[in-house]
Amino acid sequence: MQPNRAVIVEGIANDWECFRRWIDRSVVPPKLDVPYLKQILPNVPVPIADCGKQHYNSHEKLDLPLFDFLQSWETGETNDSPESTRNRYYLKDWHLRSECPEYGFYRTPPLFASDWLNEFLLEQASDDYRFVYIGPKGTWTAFHADVFGSYSWSVNIFGRKRWYLLPAGEEQKLQNSLRSLPFSVTEQTLRDASVTFFTIEQEAGEAIFVPTGWYHQVMNVEDAISVNHNWFNGCNVGTIWCNLRDAMDDVRREIDDCREMDNFDEHCQVMLKASFGMDYTDFLTILLYVCDKRLASLKGGGVVKQIDDYVLGKKHVMFDIVTIRELLSETIEKGYFNSYPELNALAVNCLHQLRSSGLSL
């Protein structure tokens, strides 16, 4: 994570319930066990991307009852025409874990357990960035980098995916005159632009760790199912903060002609949250929550629980605290919160607590 390097990890899902039970391996080739899923899962609305229709820089979205999607999957197995909905409909970004919290169909791999984003969101019962993807052969995810510039991990539990994965910065070679990036890429277009990239054939049971800021495009070359998380922690929180500031600069430039309006800075924050998904208040709230929780554990001797009940060791706790201390110190020194006195006061107060604690690595 610290060198921000992509990694493939094998054998991650072997003991997961979804890996063992969602697939009917009594037939050749194995296939999704639709009757089993209908038995154990509620018929809730699920988010679908129509891979046959582009909407701005993504695919057109719709909601379908889960059983309707599974029905289109089953009937489509005998209808491979390009126009069939099975060949276009991709169940994506499904929050199954939060919708069915008692159903432990997987466990976060221990390598990825230090997760400030989902730690905060789940303990506040507000949201999460944990997803299930179910897509037939030929469905795909357009060229993109992950939300906030976060890390992501993706574990294939069935089928095979093909990834085009670009180290951070290589995507700039694909920008047009308006600095826009393409909706989709091919190996040929990447080579023509002299882009450094990796082509990865991800097999069932394998995890891919996608570093922060690495653009990628993913194709289901077979019927495929995956579990995915987006997250950040002490290794990339500085990059998330840089991305947030850059997005804020973009907002300010966009509405610079309104600079004299009342509450200009507050309006910028509203637009920042709408475009980036997070504003300065959200970011600082997560930072202070993580910090307070770890400080309390050191003072009181308690444990710091992570996602899926992992526990951080003392050195990891101290690493998180020192990372936050250094980030807050830079933020205050450079005056990033000067336009927001309440946020600045919170940051200064937290930094004072950290400096008085005497912690160091």
For the cut 90, the answer to whether the pLDDT of residue 286 exceeds it is: yes
Taking all residues of the chain, what is their mean pLDDT, rounded to a whole number? 93
**Confidence class of residue 102 from pLDDT cuts 50, 70 and 90?**
very high
Do 171 and 255 belong to one domain?
no
**Which whole number is the average pLDDT over 159-166?**
98
Look at the alpha carbons of 184, 189, 193, 197 in this order and tell me if their dihedral is positive or negative: positive
Do 224 and 317 belong to one domain?
no
DSSP string computed for 156-167: EEES-EEEEEE-
Evaluate whether 197 touches 203 at the Cβ level (below 8 Å). Answer: no
User: Does a structural domain hold residue 2?
Assistant: no
pLDDT tens track for 11-41: 999 999 999 999 999 999 899 999 999 999 9
Q: Say which CATH number the domain at 196 has.
A: 2.60.120.650
Position 300 scores a pLDDT of 83
Evaluate whether 140 touches 219 at the Cβ level (below 8 Å). Answer: yes
For the cut 70, the answer to whether the pLDDT of residue 82 exceeds it is: no
Do 260 and 179 belong to one domain?
no
Give the burial class of 359: count Cβ atoms within 10 A of its Cβ; 0-12 exposed, 13-18 middle, 19 or more buried: middle
Position 84 scores a pLDDT of 66
| Structure-token pair, residue 348 | 């200064």
Place of tokens 């600045």: 344
Do 245 and 186 belong to one domain?
no
d(CA 234, CA 116): 8
For the cut 60, the answer to whether the pLDDT of residue 113 exceeds it is: yes
Nearest to 166 by CA among 206, 138, 199, 130: 199
Number of folded domains in the chain? 2
d(CA 306, CA 234): 13
Q: What are the distances in angstroms from CA 277 to CA 228, 243, 281?
A: 18, 12, 12
**Which whole number is the average pLDDT over 106-125?**
95
User: Does a structural domain hold residue 23?
Assistant: yes
Of 79-88, 144-153, 255-264, 300-309, least confident by mean pLDDT is 79-88
* Domain end (from 169, 198, 231): 231
Nearest to 153 by CA among 124, 199, 113, 126: 113
Nearest to 133 by CA among 103, 111, 153, 104: 153
Do 201 and 146 belong to one domain?
yes
Kindly report the CA angle at 139 between 46 and 21, in degrees rounded to 5? 60
Kindly report the CA angle at 47 between 187 and 79, in degrees rounded to 5? 70
For the cut 70, the answer to whether the pLDDT of residue 361 exceeds it is: no
Do 261 and 163 belong to one domain?
no
User: Does a structural domain hold residue 25?
Assistant: yes
pLDDT tens track for 304-356: 999 999 999 999 999 999 999 999 999 999 999 999 999 999 999 999 988 88
pLDDT tens track for 54-74: 988 899 999 999 999 999 888
User: Does a structural domain hold residue 270?
Assistant: yes
Do 303 and 161 belong to one domain?
no
| Structure-token pair, residue 128 | 């999460």
Helices (H), 56-126: 66-76, 96-99, 116-123
d(CA 338, CA 49): 42
Evaluate whether 355 touches 336 at the Cβ level (below 8 Å). Answer: no
Do 212 and 350 belong to one domain?
no
Position 47 scores a pLDDT of 97
User: Does a structural domain hold residue 71?
Assistant: yes
Position 32 scores a pLDDT of 94
Do 227 and 241 belong to one domain?
no
Do 199 and 94 belong to one domain?
yes
For the cut 80, the answer to whether the pLDDT of residue 77 exceeds it is: no
Structural domain harbouring 352: 236-356
